[in-house]
Amino acid sequence: MKLFSCLMALLLFLLQAVPGLGLPKDTLRCVGYHGFCFRSKSCPEPFASFGTCSRRQKICCIDTTSNFHTCQDEGGHCVPPQIKCLQEQVALCPHREWKCCTEL
**Based on the domain organization, do 53 and 77 belong to the same domain?**
no
Domain residue limits at 58: 22-68
Domain count, the chain: 2
Spatial distance between the Cα atoms of 47 and 76, rounded to a whole number of angstroms:
19
Q: How many CA atoms lie within 13 A of 90 on its CB side?
A: 3
The answer to whether the predicted template modeling score (pTM) of the entire model surpasses 0.85 is no
Q: Give 55-102 pLDDT, tens digit per residue.
A: 888 898 887 777 666 787 778 888 988 999 888 887 878 776 888 898
Residue 30 sits in a domain whose CATH number is 3.10.360
C-alpha span between 35 and 29 (Å, rounded): 8
- Strand, coil or helix: 63: strand
Residues 30 and 63 in one domain: yes
Q: Is residue 8 part of a domain?
A: no
**CATH code at position 92:** 2.20.20
